Amino acid sequence: MSHRVGVVRFPGTNCEFDTIDAIRALGGDAEVLWHGDPSLKNV
């Protein structure tokens, strides 16, 4: 079973997609979450 990780994105940040690639390379599952979105998208 892989872990599901939410990577929160804020205005002016970067490297969130690099972070997601690293999580996936380690066998995890990752999703970008916009800081203003009220939903966690089942993370």
Radius of gyration of the chain (CA): 11
Question: What is residue 2's predicted lDDT score, i.e. its pLDDT?
Answer: 72
Q: Is residue 12 within 8 Å of 18, Cβ to Cβ?
A: no
Question: What is residue 41's predicted lDDT score, i.e. its pLDDT?
Answer: 80
Question: What is residue 42's predicted lDDT score, i.e. its pLDDT?
Answer: 84
Residues in the chain predicted with pLDDT less than 70, given as ranges, are: 1
Q: Model-level pTM? A: 0.79
Contacts of 35 (CB under 8 A, 6+ apart): 8, 9, 10, 11
